[in-house]
Amino acid sequence: MSHHVCPSWMGRLLACPLRRLRQDPDKILTPFVTRGMTVLEVGPAMGFFTIPVARMVGPTGKVVCVDLQPKMLDAIRHRADKAKVADRIETRACGPTSLGIGDLAGRVDFVLAFFVVHEIPDASRLFHEIVQAMKPGARCLVAEPKFHVSERDFDETIAVATQQGLKLIERPVIAGSRSAVFSSASEFHVCPDKQERPS
């Protein structure tokens, strides 16, 4: 699997409003995000999901965006200012080997990792840090692009996530992606009849 990091110029394409026609953040995330939540977004690019999530959590919630590229985070802050949600968004630059989120241990209600896991060399370390940050019963949505990640590779990603303590609960259908919803270990249920097996 490739670990090539998406260049900052690609962020503009990923944040294009036309993307909503295939991947509407509100429809994708409404089942998981409510007011007052703390949300961790890993690899947010220029904030295609970040701004809608900030609106969902409301003024009492918080969105923590962690990215390797400062230019992406600069763009999020600019877009957040324009959208008047900057007060509930925190941006953090991470290193190549760690998210640097130890202070979030047990505080996160929902984790979003959209089109980013395939860029990270050590997925095991990534999921370990995510698990440590999640509250009991918190959810995590992982989505990977079909054009970069094969079904076999995505199955490996699911296996790594479960080895680190996440429990697979659903395989939602999201256009152009291979997707999985996980729960932290203390609260989960498996729904094999609802799992989607994309080609």
The encoded tokens of residue 18 equal: 């036309």
> Which of 38-62 are b and which e, b meaning 16 or more Cβ less than 10 Å from the residue's Cβ?
bbbbbbbbbbbbbbbbbbbbeeebb
Residue 4 and residue 50: Cα distance in Å, rounded? Answer: 22
Task: Say if residue 73's pLDDT is above 60.
Answer: yes
Residue 31 and residue 182: Cα distance in Å, rounded? Answer: 13
Mean pLDDT over 160-175 rounds to 97
Which tens digit of pLDDT belongs to each residue from 87-141? 999 999 999 899 999 999 999 999 999 999 999 999 999 999 999 999 999 999 9
Domains of the chain plus CATH, in order, are: 10-14+25-185 (3.40.50.150)
